[in-house]
Structure 1
């Protein structure tokens, strides 16, 4: 009686999938927001070095302070600014996809409609792929200036977000496969 008109009765597996996907996508969004906005995308944030998608700051011995280089200053170094721009695009795009995905999952759960299986696994897989490419492109450009121990909590947050997105895709894909075999 309290159901939306035209809505199909949701099976327990659909409710479980929707809730799981919603929680994973919200947590993934929070981790990406923390890393990319709260920490400003700085994957290395130490007193003598700050390296991020928008920052390239190294310690200047002469001035005894952190000196940040602009994109034009990076042209003489081994860093390709076009690759950094592509890394920024790839790393920041998944947060938009994840936000829309949270809204999509919420809408599907509220209306009690069945989740379209292809969208349930393709979107997080695509987002995870973009984030991975962005991280790898960025790290390939700054690897000479960092050690593994230099990486910040923002980097860890992005890695955990990537893992969550891959788990989302795997969960939805496996549920899709199970539904195919049942029918």
Structure 2
């Protein structure tokens, strides 16, 4: 993907693999959005892209280094896991807009802070490196708790990865 975005003159410029040049966020964001559209029939919106940009881009000029994008705790592996999760289990929910997508944990707290019991949102987990979806909801019966359950893709079903409670 990286080489296809950068290689303008030679379709198979293999020298790009040796020392890939940085890629501007604008170009990378278009390709990421397209990938979500092709897998789940829904692009990433501006809020989701903004959250990803905050997570991925640390260059003031908006460039993303290949090394930042591809390390062992890889951003790409995380995004690819989410794409796989959508494809295997969540395509209808994603396509129809029931999953907020890329929303930070902090933003989730803000969105749910003043909501009634039972209000919930679905977002992509930031902590699961394999791609998972987090179901967050308000349950004030336990002293104003917010609850989170992470689901990750198993071969034929979603399995519970973790449960977190926050007062």
Q: So what's the TM-score if we normalise by structure 1?
A: 0.24
Which structure dedicates a bigger proportion of its chain to strand? 2
Q: So what's the TM-score if we normalise by structure 2?
A: 0.25
Greater RCO structure (CA 8 Å; 6+ sep): 1
Which structure dedicates a bigger proportion of its chain to helix? 1
Decide which structure has the larger Cα Rg and report it.
1
